[in-house]
Amino acid sequence: MKIRFVAGCAVLGLTAALSACSSSSDDPKSADGPQKVTMWMMKDSVTDDYVARFKKDFAATHENITLDVQVQEWDGIGEKITAALASNDAPDVIEVGNTQVAQYASSGGVKDLSEKKADLKGEDWLPGLAEPGRIDGKQFGIPWYAANRVVIYRKDHFAKAGIKAPPKTREEWTALTKKLNSGGNQGIYLPGQTWYTLAGFIWDEGGDLAVKEGESYKGTLDTPEALAGMEFYKELQALGKGPKDSDEAKPNLADVVSKGDVSQYIAVPGNVKLVEEANPGLKGKFGYFPAPGPSADKPGASFTGGSDLIIPEASRHQDAAYEVIKAFTGEKWQKDMAKTMSYVPNKTSFADALTGNEGLEAMAAAAANGRATPNSPEWAAVEATNPIKGYMTAVLTGKDPATEAKKASESITKTLRK
């Protein structure tokens, strides 16, 4: 999605005009009567019951604000948000994917909330959620919730192989995976184009998918660090029977695992429910751990997906909108959301809300070392053509890594500089 927008206030070019657009008359404590805050929330982000409980509690503590939550469909949401940001009648709060913040912020239609970071205790935000919402040092997106991939394993396979505990390092991980390749089982199922997993390995080595160079970004899959990450991916992928030319959707990951011969795979914990539905005989046989890093002192880096909350510049009730965001992202409703939706809260200090849920505990541990894709407004265009996938297949099928990485990096650079 490409965002091109000139804010109604911005064209005035005057500080006074900018101030007028975030009128102090929108103070939620104003005596002018209740303010109606409209929030766009994505379908299935949270349950209806969660929203109802939040609204009841919020109304009891914010008598001058009424909250109207409008559920949005994912299909076509980019265009709808773009139009809203360009209008004079935008909603007051919008839920957006964490990696989409840069696209919307580049329009000039999203309010800079940097001055609110201290009030929200933003120093404790998960990096993988906070970083995509921060562009050029300014915080446009406020982290709401996270979800990320972990290693899911068969406890019975581990026990049969004499493996008593999950690995803490890459070296331990590959060693036990080789050990699991027996009795007709595959030690790990890893499709050749699972590029989010590759990104974690690249970050572990100190590399990146792309880095900022001047006013734009440059693809960096051809750096020594990124190549080292690809080399580890190749080593691990070879320890299973995953296809080299497709991702986790083809064939469907849950369908593959439900056959019963996969000892490990990488996915969000919720994927286990799909596996168990396909094969009820596997219920209760899975465990979870964060992908190990090069050393045992911390888990490997992982891509952190999730949602941020933004306030449009065109919102007529910005102060009241902030009160809604503050409540949603505060301790009470973050912990409630974690238990209700099996999401990772936006702060590392809220991890105790996940106690007793093995999958969520593993996800939270991984999220503590979470990262996100490059903060470019054009990154969505990279994912649309995704030269990373083609690069991975080329390397896994025997082509020269350095040559293929250079091609992919050049493709990424060209897209990011459009």
Confidence bin at 342 (pLDDT 50/70/90): confident
Average pLDDT, integer, range 411-418: 93
Distances (CA, A) of 199 to 192, 345, 417: 13, 22, 21
Q: What is the pTM of this model?
A: 0.77
Q: How many angstroms separate the Cα of 233 from the Cα of each of 26, 46, 219?
A: 52, 34, 19
Q: Which helix (H) or strand (E) holds 21?
A: helix 15-21
Note the CATH number of domain 150-301+375-416.
3.40.190.10
356-406: per-residue pLDDT in tens? 889 989 998 998 899 989 988 888 889 889 999 999 999 999 999 999 999
Cβ-contact 228, 207 below 8 angstroms: yes
CATH 3.40.190.10 residue ranges in the chain? 10-148+304-371, 150-301+375-416
Chain centroid, CA 151 distance in Å = 17
CATH class of 10-148+304-371: alpha beta
Q: Would you state the structure tokens that stand for residue 340, as one six-digit string?
A: 């209700």
For the segment 270-289, the average pLDDT, to the nearest whole number, is: 94
Q: Which of the four pLDDT bands, split at 50, 70 and 90, describes residue 191?
A: very high
> Which candidate, 414, 311, 362, 312, places its Cα nearest to that of 149?
362
CA distance 264 to 278: 17
Identify the DSSP state of 397. Answer: T
Q: What does 294-363 look like in DSSP terms, one character per residue?
A: SSTTSBPPEEEEEEEEE-BTT-S-HHHHHHHHHHHTSHHHHHHHHHHH-PBPSBGGGGGGGTT-HHHHHH
Please determine, for residue 2, whether its predicted confidence score (pLDDT) is greater than 80: no
pLDDT above 70 (res 120) = yes
Convert the pLDDT of each residue in 212-250 to its tens digit: 998 889 999 999 999 999 999 999 999 999 999 999 989
Q: Using 50, 70 and 90 to split pLDDT, how confident is the model at 33?
A: low
